[in-house]
Amino acid sequence: MTKRLNLYKVHMPSDVAAQLSETLHSGQIAQGPKNAEFEKRLAEFFGNDNLATTNAGTSALTLALKCAGVGHGDQVISTPMTCVATNTPILNVGADIVWADVDPRTGNISPRDIRNKMSRNIKAIMYVHLGGQPAEIDEIKDIAFEWNVPIIEDAAHAMGAKYEHMLIGNHSDYVCFSFQAIKYLTTGDGGLVLTNGHRARERIEQIRRMRWFGLDRNSYRSSTKWEADIDVAGYKMHMNDIAATIGLCQMNYLSDIIRKHIDNGLYLDEALKQVDGIQMIRRRPYTKASYWFYTLLLNTEKQREKFAKHMDAHGIDTNVSHIRNDIYSIFQKYKTALPNLDDFASRMINIPCGWWLDQGDIEYMVKTIREGWL
């Protein structure tokens, strides 16, 4: 095989150019009608109109934390097995992190360890659906309910994934997505917050204000007066119409893209389940992963090295995607024993599974993995 099989690829359809050109010369490139239309399409996709676009997934997470009332002196339970973007917003709103360990068979946060770490200082629980494999949403919700704290899901990897037949985006108080370059849907950079529960409308209205200085853009304005007050200092984290135009165009391809990730992932689930030296990720029957990347567990760290070299020699990219966050200096003061993470992080590796791989690519990859690399 001469072509390389990559882990990520930017999806940019050719019809974006004409639509972008129209927006660029329309005289309206700030947050405007394209953004409103994009939000409408997203609401149809998720079946939830309590949502707000942002200029990045990191901004979405920051706004969710702010709106959840998390600030100086508070603590947030989070997972270190994620992109650092899940966790820097916690520090940036002035709060501290309490790490929970992970499930060693998925890399997702462990509800049992969340329970061990709960205290009155915890003001939110934050977690990621690693690689698009949904975490244990219901168990985490039970804990959050008992302690009366909000949940913020980082669903950057999980567009199109389902838990108990419902699309990720519809379960927790706040659910954040990223539209960064290599996600299922890209707007160049961009993000999204959805809110749920009995305060969903109130929360999303607060987020809409917070993404734009703290001002209600829909409040009455004349040439000399603007009646809205600003009672909390907001940010400038909205999505502009240039990004929204790209997003609108991408929406026409989104279902197809997600379906291809899932078809490839399901094929790999079957094809790799009895291969020497490889352990599969645990997929619960009530979850449907969206397979942003495909994670395998090797027996040892040494065997992982060998596997990565073998794949590389055959033109297939592999990586660990995210480095466990607790090793970074900014998080040193939160260091704690995380034995399951030690195990998972030393044995996991991601292989490609996205929309750009056809059946021939996937079969070639399976054949390469089955070869004697051990």
Ligand X SMILES: Cc1ncc(COP(=O)(O)O)c(C=O)c1O
Residue ranges in contact with ligand X by CB under 6 A: 56-58, 82-83, 85-86, 128, 154, 156-157, 178, 180, 189, 191
List Cβ neighbours of 346 (8 Å cut-off, separation of 6 or more).
300, 301, 304
Minimum CB distance to ligand X smaller for 159 or for 272? 159
Q: Which residues of 198-217 are buried (b: 16+ CB within 10 A; e: fewer)?
A: eebeebbbbbbbbbbebbbe
Tokens representing 175 are 């659910």
**Tokens 């997003």 sit at which residue?**
247
Minimum CB distance to ligand X smaller for 239 or for 297? 239
SS (H, E, C) the chain: CCCCECCCCCCCCCCHHHHHHHHHCCCCCCCCHHHHHHHHHHHHHHCCCCEEEECCHHHHHHHHHHHCCCCCCCEEEECCCCCHHHHHHHHHCCCEEEECCECCCCCCECHHHHHHHCCCCEEEEEEECHHHCCCCHHHHHHHHHHHCCCEEEECCCCCCCEECCEECCCCCCEEEEECCCCCCCCCCCCEEEEECCCCHHHHHHHHHHHCECCCCCCCCECCCCECCCCCCCCCECCCCHHHHHHHHHHHHHHHHHHHHHHHHHHHHHHHCCCCCCEEECCCCCCEECCCCCEEEEECCHHHHHHHHHHHHHCCECCECCCCCHHHCHHHHHHCCCCHHHHHHHHHEEEECCCCCCCHHHHHHHHHHHHCCCC
Minimum CB distance to ligand X smaller for 128 or for 348? 128
Q: Shortest distance, CB of residue 59 to ligand X, whole angstroms?
A: 7
Q: Where does residue 43 rank: exposed (0-12), middle (13-18), buried (19+ CB within 10 A)?
A: middle
Name the residue number minimizing CB distance to ligand X: 57
Minimum CB distance to ligand X smaller for 58 or for 368? 58
Minimum CB distance to ligand X smaller for 78 or for 178? 178
- How many whole angstroms separate alpha carbon 294 and alpha carbon 131? 7
Minimum CB distance to ligand X smaller for 239 or for 308? 239
Q: Shortest distance, CB of residue 10 to ligand X, whole angstroms?
A: 13
Q: Shortest distance, CB of residue 335 to ligand X, whole angstroms?
A: 21
Q: Shortest distance, CB of residue 351 to ligand X, whole angstroms?
A: 17
Q: Shortest distance, CB of residue 87 to ligand X, whole angstroms?
A: 9
Minimum CB distance to ligand X smaller for 287 or for 368? 287
Tokens representing 321 are 């995607």
Minimum CB distance to ligand X smaller for 178 or for 290? 178
Q: Shortest distance, CB of residue 136 to ligand X, whole angstroms?
A: 17
Minimum CB distance to ligand X smaller for 113 or for 189? 189
Q: Shortest distance, CB of residue 129 to ligand X, whole angstroms?
A: 8
Q: Shortest distance, CB of residue 85 to ligand X, whole angstroms?
A: 3
Q: Shortest distance, CB of residue 44 to ligand X, whole angstroms?
A: 22
Minimum CB distance to ligand X smaller for 23 or for 86? 86
Q: Shortest distance, CB of residue 224 to ligand X, whole angstroms?
A: 38
